[in-house]
Amino acid sequence: MFILVNLKAYDCNPVAVAAAAADVAEETGARIAVAPQAARISAVAATGVETWAQHVSPVEHGSHTGSTHAAAVERTGAVGTLLNHSENRQKLADIDASLNGAESEGLETVVCANNPDQIAAATALDPDAVAVEPPELIGGDESVATADPDIVTDAVEAAGSVDEGVDVFCGAGIATGEDVAAARDLGADGVLLASGVALADDPEAVLRDLVSPL
């Protein structure tokens, strides 16, 4: 199971969260990555944690002011990127172009989507993984794996019907090791977390709990 912690634009200390994640990953052997704001990638990567971007723009090198170019995040230490997060929905053509940009820089890719139909569509674009996050559960108190287990199994089936080789993650409301185990048992290959870790009083304790069933 891959644990991907999205720091969004939270008012948190990204380096402290990253250091905690690096420690827990090293001690437990679990795969944990942290996705900070683009401006913080170099500081987060310096902790040794696996570092991801939250987004890369659908552009090649050139005149693209305000973009987040795949090369810039890769050069500063990112090894993967989220795309099409529900807080940053992209045009279909732009997801395709962002994937091409990310892949040309060797970044691993996870395309998010709302529901199994969109998961199938995202899978057809051939990312490394897709992630289903029901928008109504994001930031909530109940885990997607218990609140809506069918959406996870349906997403796994939808992705598999298009391409068996694309991993499936799930996210929304995941906060404990029990939630991670439930997601795994539903067929997920990873989970997306955000506030549950980023805004925790003790991110390291949360992370230890999250990976405990693995």
The residues carrying an active-site annotation are: 85, 133
What is the maximum span of the chain, computed from C-alpha positions, in angstroms?
47
Pick from 5, 22, 38, 151 the residue near a copy of itself by CB under 8 A.
38
31 DSSP 8-state letter: E
CA 56 → CA 33, 70, 80, 105, distances in Å?
17, 6, 10, 11
Using the contact rule CB under 8 A, the part of the chain among 3-11, 17-25, 181-189, 200-208 near a copy of itself is 3-11
User: In degrees rounded to 5, what are phi and psi of residue 79?
Assistant: -120, 0
Helix axes 14-28 and 203-211, enclosed angle (nearest 10): 30
9 binds a copy of itself (CB under 8 A): yes
8 Å CB contact between 24 and 211: yes
Q: Does 94 bind a copy of itself (CB under 8 A)?
A: yes
Restricted to residues 112-171, the positions that interact with a copy of itself (CB under 8 A) are 113-115, 117-118, 120-126, 138-139, 158, 162
Interface with a copy of itself (CB under 8 A): 6, 8-11, 36-43, 53-55, 57, 59-69, 71-73, 75-76, 78, 82, 84-96, 113-115, 117-118, 120-126, 138-139, 158, 162, 194-195
Binding site residues for substrate, as ranges?
6-8, 138, 173, 194-195
